[in-house]
Amino acid sequence: MTEKKKTTIVLFSGDYDKAMAAYIIANGAAAYDHEVTIFHTFWGLNALRKNEKALVKKGFIEKMFGKMMPRGADKMGLSKMNFAGFGPKMIKDVMKKHNAMSLPQLIELAQEQEVKLVACTMTMDLLGLQKEELLDNIEYAGVAAYLADAEEGNVNLFI
Amino acid sequence: MNSVKVLDAKGLACPMPIVKTKKAINEIATGEVLEIHTTDKGAKNDLTAWAKSGGHDLLKFEEENGILKFWIKKG
């Protein structure tokens, strides 16, 4: 085969269902032998947060942001029918029944398949997120690095 | 048909059948045949498209009691 095709996905959304769609496509594309990049920006960064609290210095507003946003993929809400957190519980039950993978599992699988996970550093600053709070083995970059991948991309999505 | 490997992907939901198939095909040699069993209804279209894109040959497809069986020759 000739040079590898590329898939690039911008994950802007911080909803469990939308992030799931992004990660299913990313894992599928990796199975298609594409080089895959997911660029996490704004609320999408929360998918990369670790569950546990990291000891980092923060200002007041940053602390508030940190408290109000979901700490990790498993804590994210649904874009529809969230019902104050009851929706995700229901859908996770249904997913188990249908043997669908959970979002944290999909993220782990993506890392196994060498999907490049990128955190947007500018929005990390805006939301007060620091490297210590995000998953290990991810990359940090801005719009130029994303565009460098995207301009050679065959599939390019904004979710 | 002589398959060198059988992949049991029954009960797995999208995207697992395709991810597992990819892993399994990496473990066999060109020209060898991989047999895949799955229950995901989307797999017929998924695996057909995947095989074509990767340059593999879908030799045979069979459906039996809700189990979809594929034979893919690595290209």
pLDDT per residue as tens digits for the range B35-52:
999 999 999 999 999 999
- Residue of B4, B6, B13, B14 with catalytic role: B14
User: Given B11, B19, B54, which is nearest A99 (Cβ)?
Assistant: B11
Residue B18 is nearest to which of A28, A98, A101, comparing CB atoms?
A28
CATH 3.40.1260.10 fits A6-158, yes or no: yes
Is residue B1 over pLDDT 80? no
Please report which confidence band the pLDDT of residue A55 belongs to, taking 50, 70 and 90 as the band edges: confident
When the pLDDT of each residue in chain A is averaged and rounded to a whole number, the result is: 95
The order of strands in the sheet holding B33-38 is B5-9, B33-38, B67-73, B57-64
Q: Check CB contact of B14 with chain A, cutoff 8 Å.
A: yes
Residue A2 has pLDDT above 70, yes or no: no
The model's pLDDT over A92-149, given as tens digits with 9 standing for 90+, comes to 999 999 999 999 999 999 999 999 999 999 999 999 999 999 999 999 999 999 999 9
The 3-class secondary structure across A79-121, one letter per residue, is CCCCHHHHHHHHHHHHHHHCCCCCHHHHHHHHHHCCCEEEEEH
Would an 8 Å CB–CB cutoff place B4 in contact with chain A? no
Given a cut of 80, is residue B24 above it in pLDDT? yes
Give residue A53's pLDDT.
86
What value does the mean pLDDT take over residues A22-31? 97
Beta-carbon separation of A100 and B18 below 8 A:
no
pLDDT higher than threshold 90 for residue A42: yes
Active site residue B35: no
Q: What is the pLDDT of residues A97-109, one digit of tens each?
A: 999 999 999 999 9
Angle at B46 between CA B75 and CA B65, to 5 degrees: 105
pLDDT at B3: 92
Structure confidence at residue A140 (pLDDT): 97
Distance from CA of A106 to the nearest CA of B (A): 9
0.95 exceeded by pTM: no
Query: Which among A1, A31, A98 has CB closest to B19?
Result: A31
Shortest alpha-carbon distance between residue A116 and chain B (Å):
17
Pairing mode, strands B67-73 and B57-64? antiparallel
Report which residue type is found at A107.
Answer: I
Triad A85, A53, A60: Cα angle to 5°: 90
CA B30 – CA B37 distance, rounded (Å): 20
